Amino acid sequence: MAEFFASGLVVDAILALMVLQFALLCVLRIVIAKAPPPFDFLPTMLAGAGLLLALRGALTGAAWPVIAAWLLAGLAAHLFDLYLRRPWR
């Protein structure tokens, strides 16, 4: 189990589950027209993916600029998500 975490495979599994979740949201939108649009969730999911990829880099010993780049990508997605949710829209 320790190797599963140390190799970063745990992050890969979580990312795969996120892709599956997004696909299921897309199918749900097709089947039930009143379901929320899946692309409304995309910036939130991208922000989480950025954090997960930074974690994967830290677990696997990536250089700090790689980890910082993933954190910045997650921050950009988070700020875009906040922009889309602004109350004065």
**Along the 89 residues of the chain, how does pLDDT read in single tens digits?**
889 999 999 999 999 999 999 999 999 999 988 888 888 999 999 999 999 999 999 999 999 999 999 999 999 999 999 999 998 86
Task: Examine residue 55 and state whether it is found in any structural domain, yes or no.
Answer: yes
Task: Examine residue 80 and state whether it is found in any structural domain, yes or no.
Answer: yes
Instruction: For residue 35, give both structure tokens.
Output: 């379901």
Q: How many CB atoms lie within 10 A of CB 70?
A: 21
- Find where tokens 């692309």 sit: 39
Residues 28 and 35 sit within 8 Å (Cβ to Cβ): yes
Residues 41 and 22 sit within 8 Å (Cβ to Cβ): yes
Residue-number span of the structural domain to which 58 is assigned: 2-84
Total count of domains within the chain: 1
Residues 80 and 43 sit within 8 Å (Cβ to Cβ): yes
